[in-house]
Structure 1
């Protein structure tokens, strides 16, 4: 609702009406430069990491058919999904803490939807021209020039979208193999499906939907307000300084005419990717990108006024109150974030890339070796979740004079599961329980790894059934 006129009736918007196309104009400024630097880094990270090899394997590869997730020198398995849960919780609380402090700065600078929208708007500008020219072009009937410009734009959009899809799928199918398959038209049906899906998703979201994703589809835009308080940094218009609005000459004294610093040029509206007027107050459509700040500062410089008519500030600062940077909400989110990060790294430090399972042979409960010894047979399954081979030492304990008959050392290759038949012998003791607990443990020759232990039961002659 517009706050410029206190008596103005609220504007009713039909959610089903066709949204007006937003034509953004070019601008420059320090926040745009920061966004370009951040976007360049994220693009290099996304498009470049998949081409890095470590020890002959793609550095980051999520091998779904093999159920192995390689991240540099570490391989994660489905059993490690608890770590993914911790990571998602950390990201959530990190986003909450960032929002409580700096509003929707994530949306404006690093959200993939925003980043790719800016890229697609750049492609639109270099093919169809600046804002006024694009508006004029859309109003003219189809001509050769219009067809060529529109075609060039869509070809560029599709190229960016396909490159993005190829890179994303390249984190699940080795990217070099995928590129060769695309070049030779030898892509699997599933590969074709996902390449097409992500190409169309990028093309549609960044080319057509744009601000509609942020306004109507993104849940973050809806619940972000619960994390805001009067000390949250937001993009805001200084109404006390800017009102009354009105055009004037640069040499004119606005005070003599009863005007504020806002010259009512609407440049802040023309650069906004969601098409809002920041002078109407804080709105949920604002993604905190600071485009209006850069545009307004440019006009203030031309007029000889101080910058900051539109700026990052807090509600307390706008009303003349002292800011409280460590608000209770920020302290709460920050504390939760520190705890989650600590638990994550503790869990990661305790992770051993080996797994052990012991299955006792149920077909033969026990076998008498002689009058003094009883034998049980077990199948040990040892999984090596590492990217290097491990020499494993098998041990058993739990009963006095318990021993393993046969070899106790095996080699488990990277990313494989070895099954070893183990014969365990124990002395026959009169009056002892017919089932007794035992513990199998495995240790690796690689230093720094703790032993992995699992329990089972050892059977001796008797009438009772195996309770396991």
Structure 2
């Protein structure tokens, strides 16, 4: 059976007693080698798109406002013309659940593609590796530089690298804070050193965090901090697409000349060049088998394919494959678990989309005065007092009409029309009076109707109670 090998990293001991060992090993710096290939191009494209979105979306204007702005002081979250309020938190929870199911679906289908191609930690890690390469050189040059004693040239290169890292980290921090403080106000404030305390704190904190995570910790975040690396394996099956080394084809490993008859010498296609290790951003050897540290970035696939091309061998010694394919069997794309995830995703997307696009940008909450059941007015009418909390959740001012029904002759002792500005929460007191001749029981269900005069689709109705005197028989 040619199954995907799994490396056993359990410490071995010849002693009968248990041997203690550290759960956290001291980090060894990984010098990632420059390479080219299909999967690198795909990852570069996906990373570029994500960086453009992250740095650019806050600059987009929509109807005169920043397209994406999380205005925490006003408790308003603007996303491309839609304003969300704290009352819409359920939509955010729903969205997070949908994204979790998307992650599960992708993992069952193709392993850790999210980690290798879209995870912000690795997008910024590759960004920082690029900065490291342009300032200090490729892998061998960086290794020699670190082994050398301090000199003027080394100091210049190290200073240039860390300066570029800090610049990228600071730009990332400013871009992130720009989604909470308008970016067109934040950027001039940064350049003029006129920031508020909260902006200063968050820009400083995020700059340090980005510099540390992408510059120093890198793979440590994935190995020790990210929970996804630990539980993703339970979603794998024999048809999950993962990166694997074809052991049957590659072994025995060994160096050889290009045109040597290595098959006669009992050798496989692997020339043991180590390139698959040198390009790996987490420093693992994929030939040891499937490991939870692997982020499925495809770097080892590109490096190995390049060597196979140079040697004149077939590509695919290291490739995206499945356990069934390695066994010589057929990969089953459509399988029950994948279909179940897809069905759940479709149902949730449809329900979420319907809820979002039929959402009415108006909030109506009616509170009846509980200090007294009712008041008998000077004109003999029975009066109830209410407070209407009206929130205009759209990005435009609206004028609303207020109507009430449920009792014959019910009169509203307030203006029937009210103007509410965009994003305003208005407390509107209303008194209702009813003729006691029409009240034959102690309480009635009444209906408040709030309608935008300039948009018939913005309308809400809410039920409440009208309390009157109990009839004595």
**How does the TM-score come out when normalised to structure 1?**
0.94
1:399 to 407, 412, 418: 407
Aligned partner of residue 230 in structure 2, secondary structure: helix
The alignment yields a C-alpha RMSD, in angstroms, of 2.2
Aligned partner of residue 264 in structure 2, secondary structure: helix
Q: Which ranges of structure 2 fall in alignment gaps of 5 or more residues?
A: 13-20
* In structure 2, C-alpha distance between the alignment counterparts of 1:228 and 1:245, rounded to whole Å: 29
* In structure 2, C-alpha distance between the alignment counterparts of 1:53 and 1:446, rounded to whole Å: 24
* In structure 1, C-alpha distance between the alignment counterparts of 2:11 and 2:113, rounded to whole Å: 27
**Paired residue for 1:428?**
436
1:30-429 aligned at under 5 Å gives the runs 30-362=38-370, 365-368=374-377, 370-371=379-380, 373-429=381-437
Does the Cα contact within 8 Å between 1:4 and 1:280 map onto a contact in 2?
no
Cα separation, partners in 2 of 1:261 and 1:11, compared to 1, 3 Å:
farther
* In structure 1, C-alpha distance between the alignment counterparts of 2:202 and 2:10, rounded to whole Å: 45
* In structure 1, C-alpha distance between the alignment counterparts of 2:386 and 2:124, rounded to whole Å: 57
Does the Cα contact within 8 Å between 1:377 and 1:424 map onto a contact in 2?
yes
Shift of 1:447: 3.3
Cα separation, partners in 2 of 1:283 and 1:80, compared to 1, 3 Å:
same
Could you report, residue by residue, the CA deviation over 1:137-184 in whole angstroms, capped at 9, with x for unpaired residues? 111111111111111100000000000000000000111111111111
**Paired residue for 2:16?**
none
Cα separation, partners in 2 of 1:220 and 1:98, compared to 1, 3 Å:
same
Does the Cα contact within 8 Å between 2:113 and 2:296 map onto a contact in 1?
yes
* In structure 2, C-alpha distance between the alignment counterparts of 1:240 and 1:408, rounded to whole Å: 82
Aligned partner of residue 83 in structure 2, secondary structure: strand
* In structure 2, C-alpha distance between the alignment counterparts of 1:186 and 1:407, rounded to whole Å: 46
Does the Cα contact within 8 Å between 1:361 and 1:377 map onto a contact in 2?
yes
* In structure 2, C-alpha distance between the alignment counterparts of 1:332 and 1:427, rounded to whole Å: 60
Cα separation, partners in 2 of 1:443 and 1:244, compared to 1, 3 Å:
same
**How does the TM-score come out when normalised to structure 2?**
0.93
* In structure 2, C-alpha distance between the alignment counterparts of 1:358 and 1:367, rounded to whole Å: 21
Does the Cα contact within 8 Å between 2:71 and 2:181 map onto a contact in 1?
yes
* In structure 1, C-alpha distance between the alignment counterparts of 2:41 and 2:105, rounded to whole Å: 25
Displaced runs of 4 or more, over 3 A? 3-14, 361-364, 368-371
* In structure 1, C-alpha distance between the alignment counterparts of 2:9 and 2:369, rounded to whole Å: 81
Aligned partner of residue 59 in structure 2, secondary structure: coil
Cα separation, partners in 2 of 1:317 and 1:366, compared to 1, 3 Å:
same
Q: Which moved more, 1:54-63 or 1:94-103?
A: 54-63
Could you report, residue by residue, the CA deviation over 1:320-378 in whole angstroms, capped at 9, with x for unpaired residues? 1111101222112212212221221122133111111223344562233545x433232
Shift of 1:446: 3.8
* In structure 1, C-alpha distance between the alignment counterparts of 2:361 and 2:6, rounded to whole Å: 66
Does the Cα contact within 8 Å between 1:369 and 1:375 map onto a contact in 2?
no
* In structure 2, C-alpha distance between the alignment counterparts of 1:404 and 1:81, rounded to whole Å: 33
Q: Which ranges of structure 1 fall in alignment gaps of 5 or more residues?
A: none
Does the Cα contact within 8 Å between 1:236 and 1:281 map onto a contact in 2?
yes
Shift of 1:406: 4.1
**Paired residue for 2:18?**
none
* In structure 1, C-alpha distance between the alignment counterparts of 2:38 and 2:6, rounded to whole Å: 34
Does the Cα contact within 8 Å between 2:284 and 2:294 map onto a contact in 1?
yes
**Paired residue for 1:21?**
29
Cα separation, partners in 2 of 1:6 and 1:97, compared to 1, 3 Å:
closer
* In structure 1, C-alpha distance between the alignment counterparts of 2:395 and 2:6, rounded to whole Å: 67
